[in-house]
Amino acid sequence: MIETQRLFQELQRMGAGEFVHLNGSLEEHLIGTAALLQEWNAPEHLRVAGLFHAAYGTAGFEGALACAEERHKVAALIGAKSERLVYLYCCCDRQKFYPVIGTEHEHRLPDRFASVERELTSEELDALCELTAANELEIASKSAAFRNQYGRSLAELFRRMSRHLSAHARTKVAEVFANEASSATLLALTGSQHK
């Protein structure tokens, strides 16, 4: 079992509190994302990945706590399985990847760091979708402006991701984006045909 308090301290040492994020500091956002994953009973490696999900910077956040060349150090800290998910989340070229979610090409992740396509396992795709939901919902649940600007497109993305999301994540998406999502999207998210 990885000690959460020790990881919080490591985030502080890496400077997560110094980065400004949409609703406060990056540190607060990372902790909030991990807390959502814990609330959803996510496996430990996914909760830990949630805590470090922006370690190398993301397509939506330029700041980085470590460079991708230091992956071995992050892996030593949080474990190889968590670090692999963190890397996949950070390297994801969202403009290319999000449109293929729900299609036969959704297992191919465009790596914006290495300019290659990475083949995802089904487990990795599910975890990446769950982490994406936790990240966006942590922000959206605290910001009406964010929901107004991105709510409709995110609700549609999560509709296409729905078969990869836990029931907890789908319920939270429907709750947070209730005013922005279409009735068809809400029905797809709350229907019983998913895992």
Q: What is the pLDDT of residues 71-128, one digit of tens each?
A: 888 898 899 999 999 999 999 999 999 999 999 999 999 999 999 999 999 999 999 9
Q: What is the model's pLDDT at position 56?
A: 87
DSSP secondary structure letters along 60-89: TB---SS-GGGHHHHHHHH-HHHHHHHHHH
Please determine, for residue 12, whether its predicted confidence score (pLDDT) is greater than 70.
no
Please provide the average confidence, as pLDDT, over all residues in the chain: 86
pLDDT tier at 5 (50, 70, 90 boundaries)? low
Q: Which of 35-49, 94-108, 180-194 has the lowest mean pLDDT?
A: 180-194
E-state strands within 63-175:
108-111, 116-119
Q: What are the tokens at 70?
A: 């230091």
Report the run of H or E that residue 167 belongs to, with start and end: helix 167-176
User: Which residues are CB-contacts of 14 (< 8 A; sequence separation ≥ 6)?
Assistant: 55, 65, 66
pLDDT tier at 153 (50, 70, 90 boundaries)? very high
pLDDT tier at 180 (50, 70, 90 boundaries)? confident
The answer to whether 154 and 73 have CB atoms below 8 angstroms apart is: no
Q: What is the mean pLDDT of residues 23-52?
A: 90
What percent of the chain has pLDDT above 70? Answer: 79
Q: What is the model's pLDDT at position 67?
A: 75
Q: What is the model's pLDDT at position 193?
A: 45
The CATH number of the domain covering residues in 4-190: 1.10.3210
**When comparing pLDDT for 23 and 128, which is higher?**
128
Q: What is the model's pLDDT at position 7?
A: 67
pLDDT tier at 1 (50, 70, 90 boundaries)? very low
**When comparing pLDDT for 178 and 92, which is higher?**
92
**When comparing pLDDT for 166 and 4, which is higher?**
166
